[in-house]
Amino acid sequence: MKGQPQHRKMLAGAGFCGACTLGGFLWPRFGLPAPGALPFFIAAYLSGGWFATRDLAGELRRGVFDINLLMIVVALGAAGIGAWVEGATLLFLFSLSNALERFANYRTEETIGSLLRAAPETACRREKGEWVEVSTESLGIDDELLVKPGELFPVDGEITEGATSADESALTGEALPVSKRTGDPVSGGTMNLEGRAVMRVLRLPSESAVQRIIELIESAREQKAPAQRFTDTFTRYYTVAILAGSVVFLAWLLFWSRETFALAVYHMMTLLVVASPCALVLSIPSAILVAIAAGARNGILFRGGVAVETLAGVNHFAFDKTGTLTTGELEVARIETAGLTTVEETLAAAAAVAQNSTHPLSRAVVREATRRGLAPVATSDVTNIPGFGMEARTAPGLVAVGSRRLMEERGFEVTGFSSSGAEAEVWVARDVLLGVIYLRDRLRPDTPAVIAALQRAGNSVALVSGDRAAAAEMVARAAGIEEVHADLTPNEKLQWIHRWRQEGKTVAMVGDGINDAPSLIAADVGLGMGARGSDAALAQADVILMHDRIENVPTALRLSRRARRIIRQNLFISLGTVAVLVGFALAQKIKLSLGVVGHEGSTVVVVLNGLRLLRIRPDRSI
């Protein structure tokens, strides 16, 4: 891609600048002649200032004065008075931050593109009674396609032949497989789990559900205004003021005070040095870089300083359900028998059949039987019933395992059971109905404590899910969340984010699926689950929680708020120091050497102040 060589060149230039700066700094400290360090600093200036100078040239042609001009002038001023280390260090940090920003933009664009490329490139189309493999780009409305078990549905359409179930968790957040029979709609990008199915194309690939989500991502990106940092605005005007003020000061010294040219230049350089906002420029990045490092050490990846600053102001959290508040894995919640067998006997009969399937419901049943120590039962004559269940013969007789509808078609009475509608159901029958196994998405153990910690910190919390209302409400009750919005499409999730922001709330969205990506980018700050999250969700997340540790959400909030306090302290220190030193410089009451000491001292103080963020540790009570 076009952006890839650019960000790599910028990273290489920043790395070379840092190495040369370190070499020049260490050279005289090993007892070597000081002039020998000059080539190192010149190389650092050239490599660290190349891209900034190139950008500056374009900005000056447009009449724009911003941080690039400030950095170049300050670095040259530092070189003019022999402060090479400071100038080179500034260029290193500045070039590194620009390279990382360019890399983040490249990764976002690349991931959105990979989302499109992840869709099937070919499909099996019926032509004159035969199945022919063709490009998905050649598909048309009403084409008939064959989709085998384990394959992705290539486009949006409807089932015309066969029965199966589909994994729609990536698009809708629904943790449970969705049964698909003749006439049921299917979405491109979802997976066919069971039987062979024939589908009819209803939308072209360019109009698929995945494509619509990508369009929502782009729309949300346009609606989210970029964060404007205080230093960006301040230094834009400050740069011009300092340069103009230095020239005026030089003229005043020459023509009013009648100083010699050499002495006037000396005083002007003193003013330029003490007025240069090096501490100001470092006050925010130094704290941000330490906050990012502290977060990474605790499994929290901040995508730049904007994420740190914005998260500090959040007062409303919106959580996705599946894979975020829950693990995304099904577990047996309870087993209800018909009174003819024990719970263990019912489970053992179901596991005997389920062990022959890789369906998520079957795996959960087998896992529960293993956990209870039930011995595997031998089976034969295993038959899959797509969209309904399966059956197999055991020593006591033929066992059928599947949906309520399968039991009804077999003539069993399925009334009298306490179905809540919030759980998946696996019905078990032999010669008679044995019972029903209820399964649910497992809540993360730390979820209730995380929600409570966020609420104690003054935040409101809501659950937004594409899952069924009954399932979402059950998870919300267990987690301690009162505001619940279920059965939402990606666009409806997005609308809730916009609504909360219009109400004046600063919103953080926490999610993991493709369907969460538009909401993650539309929110003031998006937090993505790192291990389980989809590429699209992680690309749009401002903060990534590595290893799926939801307990890091309060830690990230606490770290960002501490960073905000330190940034404010650094701004006060840097601006206060500049004001005092500039006053003395204008009064010609400070020597250049003392000005450099004061200037350097304030820079060291703000950096050390930022290092305090490294002491933050996760809350072990969660």
**Residue 220 pLDDT > 50, yes or no?**
no
User: Percent of the chain, pLDDT > 90?
Assistant: 29
- pTM for the full model? 0.61
Instruction: Give the residue from 567, 569, 578 showing the smallest Cα distance to 600.
Output: 578
Confidence at residue 441, expressed as pLDDT on a 0 to 100 scale:
83
Q: Which two tokens stand for residue 466?
A: 């594409």
Q: What CATH number should be reported for the domain whose range is 122-207?
A: 2.70.150.10
**Residue 19 pLDDT > 50, yes or no?**
yes
Instruction: Give the residue from 97, 95, 118, 99 showing the smallest Cα distance to 107.
Output: 99
pLDDT band at 447 (very low <50, low <70, confident <90, very high): very high
- Give kind and range of the element (H or E) at residue 502: helix 490-502
**Residue 286 pLDDT > 50, yes or no?**
yes
Q: Which two tokens stand for residue 429?
A: 């029958």
User: Percent of the chain, pLDDT > 70?
Assistant: 82
Confidence at residue 501, expressed as pLDDT on a 0 to 100 scale:
94
CA distance 12 to 8: 6
Q: What is the mean pLDDT of residues 219-241?
A: 56
Candidate from 48-52, 88-92, 312-316, 571-575 with smallest mean pLDDT? 88-92
Candidate from 39-53, 214-228, 237-251 with smallest mean pLDDT? 214-228
Are 122-207 and 300-326+444-559 the same fold in CATH? no
CA distance 129 to 381: 32
pLDDT tens, 102-140?
665 565 455 555 555 556 788 999 998 899 999 988 999
Instruction: Could you list the beta-strand ranges (E) of 488-532.
Output: 507-511, 525-529
Query: Which residue among the candidates 66, 156, 184, 320 is catalytic per the annotation?
Result: 320
**Residue 274 pLDDT > 60, yes or no?**
yes
pLDDT band at 144 (very low <50, low <70, confident <90, very high): very high
Q: What is the mean pLDDT of the chain?
A: 81
Confidence at residue 228, expressed as pLDDT on a 0 to 100 scale:
39
Confidence at residue 524, expressed as pLDDT on a 0 to 100 scale:
92
Q: Please say if 320 is a catalytic residue.
A: yes
Q: What is the mean pLDDT of residues 4-26?
A: 86
Confidence at residue 505, expressed as pLDDT on a 0 to 100 scale:
95
CA distance 490 to 324: 16
Domain layout of the chain by residue ranges: 1-118, 122-207, 215-299+560-616, 300-326+444-559, 328-442
Identify whether the C-beta of residue 580 lies closer than 8 Å to the C-beta of residue 595.
no
Confidence at residue 454, expressed as pLDDT on a 0 to 100 scale:
95
Identify whether the C-beta of residue 459 lies closer than 8 Å to the C-beta of residue 310.
no
Query: What value, to the nearest 5°, has the Cα angle with vertex 577 and ends 573 and 579?
Result: 120
Architecture of domain 300-326+444-559: 3-Layer(aba) Sandwich (3.40)
Q: What is the mean pLDDT of residues 351-361?
A: 87
Confidence at residue 233, expressed as pLDDT on a 0 to 100 scale:
67
Overall size of the chain counted in residues: 622
**Burial zone of 410 (CB within 10 Å; 0-12 exposed, 13-18 middle, 19+ buried):** middle
- The CATH number of 328-442, from 3.30.200.210, 3.40.1110.10, 3.90.960.10, 3.40.50.300, is 3.40.1110.10
